[in-house]
Amino acid sequence: MNMAKQRQIKLGAFIMATGHHVSAWRHPDSQADAGLNIDHYKELVQTAERGTFDLVFVADSPAGWDRTKDPEALRRSSQGAHFEPVTLWAALSQVTSHIGFVATASTTYEDPYLLARKFASLDYISKGRAAWNVVTTGADVSNNFSIPGHPAHADRYKRAEEFVDLVKGLWDSYEDDAFIRDKQSGIYLDPDKVHQLNHSGTFFTVSGPLNVGRPVQGYPVIVQAGASEPGRELAARTAEMIFTANQTLEDAQEFYGDVKGRLARYGRSQEDLLISPGIFPVLGGTEREAQDNYDYIQSLIHPSIAWSILQRHYKGVDLSGYSLDDRAPPLPADTELNKSRLKLVTDLVERNNLTLRQLYLAVAGARGHRTVVGTPEQIADAMVEWFENGAADAFNIMPPILPTGLTDFVDQVVPILRRRGLFRHEYEGTTLRENLGLARPANSFAVARDQREAG
Amino acid sequence: MNMAKQRQIKLGAFIMATGHHVSAWRHPDSQADAGLNIDHYKELVQTAERGTFDLVFVADSPAGWDRTKDPEALRRSSQGAHFEPVTLWAALSQVTSHIGFVATASTTYEDPYLLARKFASLDYISKGRAAWNVVTTGADVSNNFSIPGHPAHADRYKRAEEFVDLVKGLWDSYEDDAFIRDKQSGIYLDPDKVHQLNHSGTFFTVSGPLNVGRPVQGYPVIVQAGASEPGRELAARTAEMIFTANQTLEDAQEFYGDVKGRLARYGRSQEDLLISPGIFPVLGGTEREAQDNYDYIQSLIHPSIAWSILQRHYKGVDLSGYSLDDRAPPLPADTELNKSRLKLVTDLVERNNLTLRQLYLAVAGARGHRTVVGTPEQIADAMVEWFENGAADAFNIMPPILPTGLTDFVDQVVPILRRRGLFRHEYEGTTLRENLGLARPANSFAVARDQREAG
């Protein structure tokens, strides 16, 4: 009998206020004020924890999402106002005990010392359940940050590389055993185990030490989502989980193989980086019911929202001569914005010969992520297919409507994955790293000293 | 019979990890790892809420507190590692329901858009219980922020003025009734009630809108603590509560009268700004017991800590020829650092002809705030004297040791204040503004429109 533990699926709940579908807020089941409703988020994270999810995740932009200039589309958009992720997760860490919290934060618009500090705080406050989704921010939000303009793609990635290394260095300021706290002798800490980083680079000059102890997990888990060439390289060097968007098994396998193949170059092994594609599950008791559910939510999209979605993909292109039933023209090759997502949508259009209507309907829910419409068994099958064929280690579940889309997934799909022996019944550990099976990183200063002393 | 409601004392719990005394962490009753222990803070805020305190407060520096270069003092300092305040309070808002949260944040080292956003988040997450303690950061921590040096006192205050106005403008981005959220029609918001600030000033260029709705309280309560001339002026123009340090009734009355006297110039009334001196209460069942408690905690101060305290006050002065029993020499007139606190200590030394030992003992606990050693009745008397004689509207309670110093205050002093009819038995409202009796500010964009339409 083979006693080897079956490889297990990891699950993230990718939370978007009212749900991932662009018109989710109009659905009778959605919480229309979700973005600013803490009780709504509390319900969601507790539902995800009931389903023994590894983590919850929110995307983020340092400024408003919706930059449409069409007043009709603006009037109908629910995307403008929502919580800052670290504040939100800090709050919800107190009403949960095991689930991990992935907060998105920008290396282009935040400060590394303040960012290192707030994530270290979050890791302590949650008792080792913090993760940082490192983003460079594709959209130009420079007009809110007193800087002359949005840095170019290549510069953003150079800055991100330096930023991440610097933040890790700051998290190493205190060694794990730096604190002695002996009341009798009055010795509080060992100053030899507190380090100044003295970082001086292209973008930053930061001496340290950080004014927080070393995070419970050593470092919060590092997540990355870029799929461009510099994005993949940054991920291979620094990330422990990648959130990715793929439509087909083949594309997902290509991405999985490519990124995993880069790890050895950085002295890392296959298990050091988990690949987690998004999946947008539209559930129904039968296939027909699922399709009806999908059609209903798609019917809630107002034409002005449809055109604003199209205009976002056809940046700089005049669409005024087109009707929704015209064949979609070729997408422009925008060189700065959402490179990898643009390629994905371009492939989708070309593969399926879409009309403009079919194009906006294809991205209105999953925004380029994989859409699966079906019964709970069919959703589970779709996940297992990718998991067992070199395309995924984990999945980011993107419920169309919240809170019900998450509740349904937990109640209907999770039990199937458990029955198949592919998903946990109980959490293995108390920290996010323990549950994801990721090693706790050593302190770079301690490693350097050990090497000096050995050498 | 006079049915007019007696004016009520407001209370804040000024929390410092192990307690306010410099050697608190060595006391048997203290929680030695307090700065990084979320359960400790949870106990404290729940105790303060049990005592119907208006608020809890943490001071903060964007980088480590203790900059001593003496390795012996460093080894004995408990001040280096602690939570980031907004993250901390967001977490604790979920385990309380009425108490307010004052988070310190720096206008010199933080970014106004990100700061506006995190405080707006905190105000929603806590359902209207957030406050911002505006500080300009006296200590030079520029070496952690990739900037050439620490701005001078005058520049810091100029920047603070612009920063606060800008943040308030961002909080007004959405009018209170901007959100419609009508599922049937598909109208989510009224774009005429979403505003771009388009701020362009000396220090910042920020267009807005903020990506969070208008805070529950309109603005989080604005707190200020500077007592220099520009600090008083900033407070008179923008603050709704001042945290101050005074040793004597006369000094407190001077400060109270001076600041309240400046309000009319800005069209504000006396009730718009609450003055809250700190008080360091050393409790005992008898006067003798209280004095013994004080002597015991003072005895825990190691000589290296004593000298590091003295050196901080005698910046640039060589003290190597002095013994602790020598008369304290005149303090240097440092023009950049903690102006108001320095004057207070200078007055203390001159008034009492202190030796160096007496000087460090005088500031080792309360750091220049008022120390009261006595029975619960005596502590209450000391507070009431200032409250009834034009020196205080509120008090920041600074427990020497935590958690016990706060528990003792709640159990022993609060009941006395309640019996005297000077302190609430139950919270009046659910927001911090309601409990402090502060008006909810109008939205500046809405006011401007109303004036245009009326005019």
Q: What is the pLDDT of residue A344?
A: 80
Region A17-36: mean pLDDT is 96
CATH number at residue A421: 3.20.20.30
Interface touch A81/B302, C-beta < 8 Å: no
Q: Which residues contact A182 (CB under 8 A, 6 or more apart)?
A: A188
In a domain? residue B5: no
Q: How far apart are CA A173 and CA A194, in angstroms?
A: 6
Give the CA count within 13 Å in the CB-facing half-sphere of A394: 25
Q: What is the pLDDT of residue A315?
A: 83
Q: Are residues B73 and B154 in the same domain?
A: yes
Mean pLDDT is highest, among A1-15, B79-93, B321-335, for: B79-93
In a domain? residue A418: yes
Residue B277 has pLDDT above 80, yes or no: yes
Interface touch B203/A300, C-beta < 8 Å: no
Residues of B with CB below 8 A from A124's CB?
36, 38, 83
**Confidence class for position B313, pLDDT limits 50, 70, 90:** confident
Region B96-101: mean pLDDT is 98
Yes or no: say if A146 and B205 are a contact pair by the CB < 8 Å rule: yes
Interface touch B71/A191, C-beta < 8 Å: yes
- Asked which of A132-136, A205-209, A304-308, A445-449 is least confident by mean pLDDT, the reply is A304-308
Nearest residue of B to residue A301 by CA position?
A: B186
Which candidate from B32, B81, B210 shows the least CB-CB separation from A213?
Answer: B81
Q: Are residues B349 and B218 in the same domain?
A: no
Q: What is the pLDDT of residue B333?
A: 78
Give the CA count within 13 Å in the CB-facing half-sphere of B202: 10
The b-or-e profile of A232-256 (16+ CB within 10 A means b, else e) is: bbbbbbbbbbbbbbbbebebbbebb
Q: What is the pLDDT of residue B179?
A: 97
CB atoms within 10 A of CB A70: 14
Q: What is the pLDDT of residue B216?
A: 98
Residue B123 carries which DSSP code?
H
Q: Are residues B242 and B383 in the same domain?
A: yes
Residue A160 has pLDDT above 80, yes or no: yes
Region B398-408: mean pLDDT is 98
Beta strands in A5-129 (DSSP E): 10-14, 55-58, 100-106
- Asked which of A1-5, A301-305, A326-330, A425-429 is least confident by mean pLDDT, the reply is A1-5
**Distance from the A94 Cα atom to the nearest Cα atom in chain B, whole angstroms:** 6
Q: Which amino acid is at B330?
A: P
For tokens 């840095």, what's the residue?
A151
In a domain? residue A300: no
Query: What digits encode the pLDDT tens for the residues A214-266?
Result: 999 999 999 999 788 988 999 999 999 999 999 999 999 999 999 999 999 99
**Confidence class for position B1, pLDDT limits 50, 70, 90:** very low
Q: What is the pLDDT of residue A193?
A: 95
- For residues A280, A286, A287 and A288, what is the CA-based torsion angle, rounded to 10 degrees? -110
Q: What is the pLDDT of residue B334?
A: 66
Query: What digits encode the pLDDT tens for the residues B224-270?
Result: 997 889 889 999 999 999 999 999 999 999 999 999 999 999 999 99
Q: Are residues B217 and B343 in the same domain?
A: no
- In terms of phi and psi (left: phi > 0; alpha: psi -120 to 50; beta: otherwise), the region of B284 is beta
Q: Tokens in use for B100?
A: 């307010």
Which among A17, A214, A356, A396 is positioned nearest to B124, based on CA atoms? A17
Residues of B with CB below 8 A from A23's CB?
186
Which candidate from A63, A94, A205 shows the least CB-CB separation from B91?
Answer: A94
In a domain? residue B4: no
Residue B324 has pLDDT above 60, yes or no: yes
Residue A335 has pLDDT above 70, yes or no: no
Which candidate from B23, B183, B213 shows the least CB-CB separation from A81?
Answer: B213
Q: Which helix (H) or strand (E) holds B164?
A: helix B153-171
Q: Are residues B397 and B319 in the same domain?
A: no
When the pLDDT of each residue in chain A is averaged and rounded to a whole number, the result is 94
Q: Are residues B20 and B117 in the same domain?
A: yes
Region A83-107: mean pLDDT is 98
Residue A334 has pLDDT above 80, yes or no: no
Which candidate from A77, A91, A121 shows the least CB-CB separation from B94?
Answer: A91
Best of B122, B132, B146, B217 to disrupt the A interface by mutation (most A CBs within 10 Å)?
A: B146
Last residue of a domain, one of B325, B343, B363: B363
Counting the structural domains of chain A, the total is 1
Query: What digits encode the pLDDT tens for the residues A79-93?
Result: 889 999 999 999 999
Which residue(s) pair with B395 in the sheet? B11
Q: How far apart are CA B8 and CA B436, in angstroms?
A: 10
Query: What digits encode the pLDDT tens for the residues A391-419?
Result: 999 999 999 999 999 999 999 999 999 99
Query: What range does the domain containing B323 cover?
Result: 302-363
**Distance from the A78 Cα atom to the nearest Cα atom in chain B, whole angstroms:** 6
Give the CA count within 13 Å in the CB-facing half-sphere of A446: 15
Q: Are residues B357 and B410 in the same domain?
A: no
Yes or no: say if B196 and B208 are a contact pair by the CB < 8 Å rule: yes
In a domain? residue A285: no
In a domain? residue B199: yes
ipTM over 0.90: yes
Q: How far apart are CA A440 and CA A433, in angstroms?
A: 7
Percent of chain B whose predicted confidence (pLDDT) is above 70: 97
Q: What is the pLDDT of residue A67?
A: 62
Query: What digits encode the pLDDT tens for the residues A312-333?
Result: 888 888 999 999 999 999 888 7
Q: Are residues B332 and B380 in the same domain?
A: no
Q: Which amino acid is at A408?
A: D
Region B14-35: mean pLDDT is 96
Q: What is the pLDDT of residue A263?
A: 97
Residue B346 has pLDDT above 90, yes or no: no
When the pLDDT of each residue in chain B is averaged and rounded to a whole number, the result is 94
**Distance from the A175 Cα atom to the nearest Cα atom in chain B, whole angstroms:** 12
Percent of chain B whose predicted confidence (pLDDT) is above 90: 82
Residue A351 has pLDDT above 90, yes or no: no
Which among A21, A16, A25, A33 is positioned nearest to A298, based on CA atoms? A21
Region A364-393: mean pLDDT is 95
DSSP B297-344: HHHT--HHHHHHHHHHHSTT---TT--TTSBPPPPP--SSS-HHHHHH
Residue A179 has pLDDT above 80, yes or no: yes
Q: What is the pLDDT of residue A327?
A: 94
Q: What is the pLDDT of residue B226?
A: 78
Residue A174 carries which DSSP code?
B
Q: Are residues B358 and B387 in the same domain?
A: no
Give CA separation, A336 vs A275, A329, A333, in Å.
Answer: 24, 20, 9
The SS3 assignment for A380 reads helix
In a domain? residue B318: yes
How many residue pairs from chains A and B have C-beta atoms closer than 8 A?
Answer: 212
**Confidence class for position B75, pLDDT limits 50, 70, 90:** very high
Residue A337 has pLDDT above 80, yes or no: no
Residue A1 has pLDDT above 50, yes or no: no
Percent of chain A whose predicted confidence (pLDDT) is above 70: 97
Q: How far apart are CA A425 and CA B399, in angstroms?
A: 46
In a domain? residue B292: no
Last residue of a domain, one of B345, B363, B381: B363
